[in-house]
Amino acid sequence: MTVSPNFSLCVYCGSRPGTDPAYADAARLVGEWIGRHGGQLVYGGGRNGLMGLVARATLDAGGRVIGVIPRALVEKEWANQDCTELHIVETMHERKREMAERADAFLALPGGIGTFEEFFEVWTWRQLGYHDKPVGLLNVNGYYDGLMAFLGQSVQRQFMGDWQMDLIACGDDPGRLLPALVQAAGITAAPRLDAI
């Protein structure tokens, strides 16, 4: 019997682990939190880097994992056959649409160009009103300090408004950011009784 998850969080993060072990620790914490709260992870379906770590931690903590990967990347990104559901799609656009539709909220962890693109896409979709789901940025050990400073400069120089910045939640503590995102999605996520 499939128990429907309490919430579904789409996580964007690096297909590499990065230099600082804090990135891997954060990815594991996020996965554990999802699993312990009876949630579902939606992600890009790979085994590499932080992507693989967040998926492994979610599964180990009893959560569901939905991976969505384009056919052309199945080998390159080492598709994760351990996913509760692994969806192989034809294009990157399909992947992003599927991931977005299956999520109640979005969270970006440290990552590279793919992570940036995905984060900016859901943020811009939010400002255009294509969805109304919360978007978060987990700033592990200052990884996104430079980006946040640059975005602040864009506001100062009037290419962006404060209201656009207010559409994202940026924080360095997964223990605060995750419940805030889920709550902003209108969901109360209590820990599973067997996980307390």
Binding site for ligand AMP (CB under 6 A): 14-16, 44, 46, 73, 77, 92, 111-115, 117-118
Find the residue with minimal CB distance to ligand AMP.
Answer: 114
How many CB atoms sit inside 10 A of residue 162's CB?
A: 8
Question: At its nearest, how many Å lie between ligand AMP and the CB of residue 69?
Answer: 7
Which among 9, 12, 64, 2 has a CA at the least distance from the CA of 189? 9
- The neighbouring-strand residues paired with 106 are 10, 135
Nearer to ligand AMP, 32 or 77 (CB): 77
What's the min distance (Å) between Cβ of 1 and ligand AMP?
31
| Contacts with 63 (C-beta within 8 Å, 6 or more apart), sequence order | 5, 31, 34, 35, 36, 38, 39, 40, 41
| Shortest Å distance, C-beta 44 to ligand AMP | 4
- When the beta carbons of 148 and 155 are compared against ligand AMP, the nearer one is 148
150 vs 190, beta carbon nearer ligand AMP:
150
Residue 106: in which H helix or E strand, if any?
Answer: strand 105-108
Token duo for residue 121: 């896409």
The nearer residue to ligand AMP, 38 or 110, going by C-beta atoms, is: 110
Taking the C-alpha atoms of residue 149 and residue 155, their distance in angstroms, rounded to an integer, is 10
The least distance separating ligand AMP from the CB of residue 85, rounded to whole angstroms, comes to 17
